[in-house]
Amino acid sequence: MVERRLRASSTAIVAVAFMLALKLGVGLTTQSIGIISQALDSVTDLMASALAFYAVRKSMEPPDERHPYGHSKVENLVSVIVGLIIILVAVAVAREAVSRLMEDEGPVMLEIGIAVMAVAVAVNLVVSSYLFRVARLERSLALEADATHLRIDVVSNTGVLIGLVLIYLTGLSFIDPAVALIMAAYIVYSGVRLIMKASADLLDENILPEEERIVRDVLGEHSQGYRYFHALKARRGGATSYLELHLAVEGDMRVDDAHDLAEHLEDEIRKRLPHFEVIIHVEPEK
């Protein structure tokens, strides 16, 4: 449902905006590079959530003359952009962390920083879990990208939280930028994974093996109605996958009967794979 996807995306925007303001204020107060890095990451979270909202709305637009297959790949394009933003922010965080290591500056007012990062972990965990659930139900890559970004925050916020606790217990200030460096490396890894996944649909990668197996099972269950099939081609396109194949039938089969058989097979495939657009071409056996 469109409303569910838009509601999920709007929820993410509100949550991220709240956490951005909180982290930035506390980061500047405590002078913790770990918290400041998370505030900067929240800026990209806000951008990612706004892009996801746009992509969800755009992807639901019906096909038009210039886009006969619809606009679902907008979600993939936005996901690639989000992945690039993630990597750029990680590089900026790493540079600042190295600078702090060389200057040997430590954070202050650790108790406030610890409390804020604990809240950030809880909020991001709840919101990302909600987005993942809606993304799976709606097959929305934009929401999945947004959820992935927030789940990265859960890990990185947890790292910063652990670092602040260790500094509080040991007094070793280098732990803060060291943790920031580790989190930057993890963020780069996650950004690359997101780009690779989003690019698969943009490059018309084949459908999943289990989906193709379902298609072949349906065709096998109705094999008595035709001679053979060939030229099976499929590709993923955002929330929708596209499948076409050629169905060879007896040369003397009535056109109406052949058409009904093709439509029946298309309906059977769509029942098991509702997100598929299926086209079956009928031809006489050669």
Residue 106 and residue 26 in one domain:
yes
Q: What is the pLDDT of residue 115?
A: 86
Residue 164 and residue 229 in one domain:
no
Residue 174 and residue 242 in one domain:
no
φ, ψ dihedrals at 138, nearest 5°: -100, 0
Residue 177 and residue 216 in one domain:
no
Q: What is the pLDDT of residue 33?
A: 66
φ, ψ dihedrals at 237, nearest 5°: -140, 70
Residue 236 and residue 197 in one domain:
no
In the chain, the DSSP E strands lie at 228-237, 240-249, 276-284
Residue 235 and residue 143 in one domain:
no
* CATH assignment of the domain containing 122: 1.20.1510.10
Q: What is the pLDDT of residue 148?
A: 80
Q: What is the pLDDT of residue 58?
A: 76
Residue 47 and residue 171 in one domain:
yes
Last residue of a domain, one of 182, 202, 222: 202
Sheet holding 276-284, edge to edge: 228-237, 240-249, 276-284
Q: What is the pLDDT of residue 102?
A: 75
Cα–Cα distance list, 125 to 43, 95, 129, 153 (Å): 18, 27, 6, 9
Q: What is the pLDDT of residue 43?
A: 74
* CATH assignment of the domain containing 242: 3.30.70.1350
Q: What is the pLDDT of residue 103?
A: 67
Q: What is the pLDDT of residue 198?
A: 77
The label of the residue with tokens 């030229």 reads 231
Residue 33 and residue 112 in one domain:
yes
Q: What is the pLDDT of residue 37?
A: 67
Last residue of a domain, one of 166, 181, 202: 202
State the residue range of the domain holding 193: 2-202
Last residue of a domain, one of 202, 227, 261: 202
pTM for the predicted model, two decimal places: 0.60
The pairing of beta strand 240-249 with beta strand 228-237: antiparallel
Q: What is the pLDDT along the chain (286 residues), one digit of tens a residue?
A: 557 777 887 888 888 888 888 877 877 777 776 677 667 767 777 777 787 778 777 777 777 778 777 777 777 787 788 788 778 877 877 877 777 677 665 566 778 878 888 888 898 899 889 888 888 887 777 788 778 878 877 877 787 788 888 888 887 777 777 877 887 787 788 788 878 877 776 776 777 788 889 999 999 898 888 899 998 888 876 667 888 999 999 888 889 998 999 999 999 999 998 888 889 999 998 7
Total domains in the fold of the chain: 2
Residue 185 and residue 138 in one domain:
yes
Residue 141 and residue 60 in one domain:
yes
